[in-house]
Structure 1
Amino acid sequence: MGRTLGWDIGGAFVRAALASDGRVLKVWQIPIPIARGRGAIEQAIDSILGDAGEISRHTVTLTGEIADSFADRKAGVEQLSSALHERLGDDLFLYAGRSGWLSGTEVTGYAEDIASASWHASASLAAEAVSEALFIDMGSSSTDIAPIAEHRVRAAGYTERERLVCGELVPQGFVRTPVMAVADVVPFGGRSTPVLAVDFATMEDAQRLLGTLEETGEPPEDDSAALDATSRARLARMVGMDVADASPEAWSALAAAFAEAQLRHVQDAALLVLSRCDITKDAPIVVAGAGRPVLRRLAARLDRGVIDFADLVDCPSGLRDAVCLAAPAAAVALLGGND
């Protein structure tokens, strides 16, 4: 069997996973704001191709089609697909979820199926390995939830709109979500304190002060003390204060309040999905994405076991965290290689 390179082309990262004989061999993650245009995406793709060696097949899932640089999702899917076809050639296949695999020239009329189908790829790979589970992937800007029963994905929605209204897509991410989108009132200093509707701080600031970023497997930041100070200052602005107005412990408590509020958003969505009774009370939670530390806490609250996405993937032990962060890329590499 040849070597398959799975791609996840998002709005903030280009991720790729190399697989052969059902095993993930290497993972890449290149930050690349898609607003910088097609040239930046092609540069990231070329960088990965130069390191990957000979490839028999390219399999792709897209999430970057919602960037402001595209008029709408259809235009985003078509333009990204065209750019990828030019770069990767006829050995390119796009993941279209409910419509299966499509060649780079077959996207017309399938934009709705291709757009943001990365969650479906990851959940489908999980469904091959486990008969029953609640799959949750908490990324940097949103959280995907999908029940698995009888080795099948039992999602009630498919498009972003459908999944938003049934709780399967939660607009809460581990680091990029502004804290003003997490809570409008938080406990601080013994009072219920309104949160300013200004994008001063994100959940990355809260997670940094709580030490949660260290649980993701990412290497520690240089000069962490300076970053902690910056995060305290940003969070202080969110409640109309300066960092000198309270102690470091008080700002950590504020970070914990935002983290708790975000966890409750995800928990409420999970409970909504679970209320459909698609899976039993003994079904575990399969966790993926940067926010796995949050999802493990959620599993404890729901009194369910935890399966790490990497537990379902054959890969070197040193790639486990990378595979979890790039779950959709790993999924399309493995699913496409078996197709």
Structure 2
Amino acid sequence: MIHPGKKYHQHKYYSCRSIYNLAMELEKGDKSDRAPYVRYLLSQTRGTMPGEWSVAGSKFLASDVLGDGDLPPYEDSWRTKFDKEWLRGCLGTDRASDPSTHAFERDAYWLASSRDEDTLMVPVYDMANHSNDPALLNTLSYKPETAGDAFLFVASRDIGGGEQVYNSYNRCNACSDARYGDDCETYSFARTPDLFVRFGFVEEYPQNWEFDPHNDDSSDDDDDDDETEFNFCLHRDAESGELEARWGDREDDKPDAADVRWLRKQLGRLRGLSDRKERLEAQLVKAAGDGEEADGDKMSRWEWESAWRYHNALSHAIAAAIRSVATEDAHDGEL
């Protein structure tokens, strides 16, 4: 395990010391006391998370897909994360901008962002895939209370030979049935967009979405303090395969008429982007044979495909929300 040492605290979720210790182990390579784990970490593909993307990839996601702040994940939570948390918050360095500095700090930061468990880098545990599907989920994890205690990663049911090991990266999200104190030790409340930012993938269903039609509204109206966001759980019906948006119990948990108009506008914009996909691909994606790495003018194939996976997830979630509200309105009209 790679950890912050005596500075470890059960309720601390970010540690400059832990990232720096990881960078030191990466630099040691095969000379590290944790060489097998270090080799595994160094073999992982870099640039999978949006915060690591090229200028072209970041701009496409932020402007074309997310509408410059209209849709989550909102920009300040991913595009400036490395600068804010590592360079300024931890007074770290970046070899990309200063070749004389430590070679592995950037790698360590992004590896920790995607693989640590609240400041702990735990071998084997970080290889488990994510799922919130009750039929797949088969493990629970328990963090140590103090430095020196054991990290527990246990089966929550029988796991058959050859079966994939799954752990929930956001077990305590708003759509979960998990109970605090039983299996919520990780305090993982992240929604689907948050997982995309932190891990670079779109989770399977069920998903958890929150939208704010007034995220960019900087007006000084008296009702600025009112809650304008709405959230829902998105489930796929096991038999029909149809997506179903499930809202909270309160009436104001659901979008109002203005919100639905905003959702329709966003869905129309995303569909319009799909119509231009082939032309944009030719303009923005590095051609085969030009190498895998992105540059300032072109994004990598991975960035392009990842952005479109998230685009499709947004489109499906918004469409399901619109259908759900329309169905409820039609039902209410029949009563």
Q: TM-score, normalised by structure 2?
A: 0.26
Greater relative CO (CA pairs within 8 A, separation 6+): 1
Structure of greater Rg: 2
Compare the two structures and name the one with the higher helix fraction.
1
